[in-house]
Amino acid sequence: MTTSVRTAAAPAGSPAPRRRGASPALRRQHRAAYLLVLPFMVVFTAMLVVPLGYAAYLSLYREQLIGGVSFVGVQNYVDALSDPAFLSGLVRVALFLVVQVPIMLGVALVIALLLDSGVLYAQRFIRLAVFLPYAVPGVVATLMWGYLYGPDFGPFAQMATGLGLPKPPFLSSWMLGSIMNIVTWSFVGYNMIIMFAALRGIPTELYEAARVDGASELRIAWSVKIPAIRSAILLTLIFSVIGSFQLFNEPQLLRTLAPSVIDTAYTPNLYAYNLAFTNQNVNYSAAVAFLLALVIAVLSYVVQLSAQRKERRS
Amino acid sequence: MSTAPTTAGTATGAAAAPLAAAASTRRRRGSTDRRSPLLTVLVILVLPYFLLPLYWLVVASTKDNGQLFSTFGLWFDQINLVSNLQQVFTAQGGIFWTWIGNTLLYSVVSAVGAAFLATAAGYAFAKYTFPAGTALFSVVLGSIMVPTTALAIPTYLLFAGVNLTDTRWSVVLPSLVSPFGVYLMRVYAADAVDTQLLEAARVDGAGELRIFFSVALRLLAPGFITVLLFTLVATWNNYFLPLIMLSTPEKYPLTVGLAQWQSAAAAGSGGQVLFSSVITGSLVSIVPLVVAFLYLQKYWQAGLSTGGVKG
């Protein structure tokens, strides 16, 4: 595999600064590079490229009631794009993305800036406390919040009852908000740490100068620090987009508590899972999964592109 | 490490705290006079949001199943932690131990394997200019965007075709790939391994692979540990992949096992699995990770700052 790649790609070429004719020493280096990259690329191909290709292949077929499996072209995709179950799931995660991600990243950014500016006491403790939820597996976080939300022994319901108020409908009409809360709780700290680490990396001279010019801390944060960590914020944004569209654990687990609120297609991922494992419709499931991957890739690309354009303009 | 000219700090509008000496000396910006009690109080008021669920988990773990329903959730009653723990570890013939072992096995093997693959690849991408290097790296970088859960279903179907489902391999193999780890290691290796050092080793007649194993690998250790930790946590917390791959409870990791207990308890189906076991089991399952985080936070932050700043 390596040799074919080498000959095929060599002319178009990587930006090799040295002449290509290749001395024995250089050839030895190339061989070493391939040897070091090879193990990863083999596993990468087997676990990522091949499954994606297989999903694409499967998605073009359909199991008919009569005649077994037959080629249907893009019919599964056409069906998915007009499938109200799939579309409503997509709309739901889009809503989730638009509401939850700004809140989560906003809170993370504010805390990171506060920690970096050194205006807080007990910084170490605060940083750890905010980060700690990330150490809790998503499954456990969902179980925990599920109990906290619960109408039976959830403390919120107990307090509401104690005050003579109706129980908050966390697991019924507020369900999407409740899921947003679980994800926010889990990931504010993770995003905060990424932003905080990036802030620590800014050369100090950059805002010592601003400070000498009399800029306020708020002004420095807004005009110096945030632009300086743009790429880190972008990273958290892209991870959040990917995460939102992949939502699975929370709805899947809360479904056992509220099966009438969360249907089998609550999120596209849950839908793909149920199609494959409950309905045994692997072809359609592959189309949905592949379409979902496509949506995510396009969206992350758009986010990246628009960020770059903004950067160029400013 | 140099103490910055702190006088500039007083010019800021923030309510400057007068006590300077108490400040941590490790802060490189020496911003001791900018501390604000008001802002600190505001942030402390937000902290219960992050800590309350964990506090609740600790409190709830001390209650037996009846107390969970009959007592106030945020305060202690009779402490039944020991009997809860006994229940957790004896339920279904002590299967909880098996789940702990499985989780450890899956996460350690995946993390070590993924970190090693990522380190070798990241180093090669950073330190060698070779044909197809840039193209391959772009492909790897692009694949960070491929959602792992969307990938899991086709992977399951492939594994089913070669009879790998419901084996331990089915959980470990997909976890060995960490494109983000490769990206991180490439950024890290570019800085951490001095090209002149490599040239020197070459002059001394060392082979390229020998240079990697005996010179570079040592310099790459902090990055290696970061990727190791990332993958460790990711595999430890993974739910979707083992859920679809495994059907034998003896092979479950903690996440899938606990979720199964939860649905059994919620369904109230005859078995001895109770809410109190789910809750106490959850507490037990997060203790190792919380401890690991507390001890290893330095590595996390160092690794993330490498990836975040230059990304």
Mean of all residue pLDDT scores within chain A: 88
Share of chain A above pLDDT 90, in %: 57
pLDDT at A313: 67
> How close A131 comes to chain B (CA, Å)?
8
Q: Average of pLDDT values for A261-265? A: 95
According to DSSP, residue B27 is labeled -
pLDDT digits (tens, 9 = 90+) for A227-249: 999 988 998 999 899 899 999 99
Using a CB-CB cut-off of 8 Å, the residues of chain A touching B68 are: 153
Using a CB-CB cut-off of 8 Å, the residues of chain B touching A240 are: none
> How close A70 comes to chain B (CA, Å)?
18
Q: Which residue has the tokens 């193990």?
A: A39
Which pLDDT band, with edges at 50, 70 and 90, does B27 fall under? very low
Beta bridge mates, B125: none
Which pLDDT band, with edges at 50, 70 and 90, does A74 fall under? very high
pLDDT at A10: 40
| Token output for A107 | 């809170």
Mean of all residue pLDDT scores within chain B: 83
Burial class (CB in 10 A: 0-12, 13-18, 19+), B67: middle
To 10 degrees, what angle do helices B81-127 and B221-237 make? Answer: 130
| Token output for A40 | 């990863």
Residue of A nearest to B263 (CA): A256
Of A61-65, A97-101, B200-204, B248-252, the one with minimum mean pLDDT is: A61-65
pLDDT at A187: 95
User: pLDDT at residue B231 above 90?
Assistant: no
Which pLDDT band, with edges at 50, 70 and 90, does A80 fall under? very high
Among A9, A114, A118, beta carbon nearest to B27: A118
pLDDT at B229: 82
> Cβ of A147 and B60 within 8 Å?
yes
Q: Average of pLDDT values for B195-224? A: 89
Which pLDDT band, with edges at 50, 70 and 90, does A200 fall under? confident
pLDDT at B279: 95
Which pLDDT band, with edges at 50, 70 and 90, does B12 fall under? very low
User: pLDDT at residue B56 above 80?
Assistant: yes
Among A9, A51, A121, beta carbon nearest to B135: A9
- B233 Cβ contact list (under 8 Å, min separation 6): A135, B107, B289
To 10 degrees, what angle do helices B148-161 and A50-58 make? Answer: 80
| Token output for A216 | 């306020």
Please indicate if any CB of chain B lies within 8 Å of the CB of A41: yes
Using a CB-CB cut-off of 8 Å, the residues of chain B touching A16 are: 129-131
The total of other beta-carbon atoms located within 10 Å of residue B167's CB is 15
pLDDT at B21: 29
User: pLDDT at residue B101 above 90?
Assistant: yes
Residue of A nearest to B34 (CA): A119
pLDDT digits (tens, 9 = 90+) for A111-123: 999 999 888 998 8
Residue B5 phi/psi, 5-degree rounding, is -65, 100
3-state SS, residue B186: helix
Q: What is the SS3 assignment for A57-116?
A: HHCCEEEECCCEEEECCCHHHHHHHCCHHHHHHHHHHHHHHHHHHHHHHHHHHHHHHHHH
Instruction: Name which of A108, A109, A147, A102 is nearest A131 in CA terms.
Output: A108
pLDDT digits (tens, 9 = 90+) for A133-147: 988 999 999 999 999
Q: Average of pLDDT values for A25-48? A: 93
Please indicate if any CB of chain B lies within 8 Å of the CB of A117: yes
Please indicate if any CB of chain A lies within 8 Å of the CB of B174: yes
Interface confidence (ipTM) of the complex: 0.85
User: pLDDT at residue A298 above 60?
Assistant: yes
Please indicate if any CB of chain B lies within 8 Å of the CB of A281: no
pLDDT at B9: 30
- B69 Cβ contact list (under 8 Å, min separation 6): A152, A153
The span from the CA of A138 to the CA of B242, in Å, is 14
Of A131-135, A152-156, B208-212, B301-305, the one with minimum mean pLDDT is: B301-305
Q: Average of pLDDT values for B65-86? A: 90
